Amino acid sequence: MQRAQWPERIAAAREQREATSRTRVMRKVTHRDGARCEVDGRKLLNFCGNDYLGLSQHFAVVGALQDAVSREGAGGVASHLVCGHHALHEALEREVADWLGSPRALLFSSGFMANLAAVQGLLGEDDVCVQDRLNHASLIDAARLSGCRLRRYPHADAEGAIRQLRSVPDGMAMIATDGVFSMDGDIAPLRDLALIARAQKALLYVDDAHGVGVLGPEGRGSVPAVKLSVREVPLQLVTFGKALGSYGAALHGDADIIGHLAETARSHIYTTALPPGQAAATLAAVKLARQEHWRREKLGELVQRFREGARKLGLELAPSSTPIQPVICGDDARAMGMARSLEESGYWVVAIRPPTVPEGRARLRVTLSALHAPAEVDGLLDALARAAERAGLSREALRAELRATPTP
């Protein structure tokens, strides 16, 4: 037997990425000042981050972090179940649960770890997890690592979800979906999925990383936005690194489910707790998100302004009412060329390509923040118009390309 050699495999994979315009390079940010940042020595206006409410540098958030670190130190010390569970962690869990209308919340170091906990902690090899085809990678990986049967339905297709559930009639069942889809910005059909979950005796789990802080009353997310509660959606995810501008995540929902995960979820038990200072920063951010409604109102106005401007320019947008506004480019090289053109004009917008998005649907993922001014959105639109003209992007040609590409 002749084993394959790692250097050859890695080199071949690299050549393939280069040939298809899919190389990925980390950019170095040396300074941030609101929505402006210095990237590899260039000053750019950031339209690709997830700081939707503009809280990451808020003086109250930063001050809470500094004060807690000066008193409690920089590290989490140990896992929550050993000696790492601090009073600040408990205060944050209570605040999150109260804000989001759940009996209990449980902290995690990241949304990825929380998704692993939710699926691995509740499903085994005899069970089934039914997921939207465009779910975040962490949900898909969580199902694969749990050993359960993973079934995926066409994007936002509730009838597809029920067909997949009926194809596996035995074992425990979970429907898992993003609330707001991170690359398209659209919202899952949550009311339909809740009805299906009830009829099929399945647990509905919503990863609302990009919905909490932005949608619903008090920014409570996509689930309250459609008047659903923990009764219909017993388990949800909130991340702190998006609209809250901090770091970490929490699962929240039914008290018995959260209690079970606190004692059994491997990604909770076997990892160091968040630093108490980080919990203090997030606690301050949650309070701001609850109180300062003007941030969501301004964000909504900017989204509408961008969409109206893009429509007048003939750009192809995904059907999104959230701060995630993808400009569909189709071809990978075209998306990369437009991103470079925008950067030359002083705007930082990242080109998103497969496998993050489906084949033939590369896009510029424009994200808006309460930190942006209306004039800055107008400037981005002008730069997009020039980039599209330079790339030869026409709506008619693009739509013909997309029609020839299978729907995910």
Which residues does the annotation place in the binding site for pyridoxal 5'-phosphate? 111-112, 182, 210, 239
Annotated binding site for substrate: 24, 136, 356
Annotated binding site: 24, 111-112, 136, 182, 210, 239, 356
Contact indicator for 126, 103 with CB cutoff of 8 Å: no
How far apart CA 367 and CA 354 sit, in angstroms, is 19
**Residue 383's closest CA among 366, 371, 360, 363?**
366
Query: How far is Cα of residue 384 from the mean position of the Cα atoms in its chain?
Result: 24
Q: Are strands 29-33 and 173-178 parallel, antiparallel or unpaired?
A: unpaired
Question: ∠ at Cα 394 (393, 398), nearest 5°?
Answer: 85
Q: Tokens standing for 221?
A: 């997310």
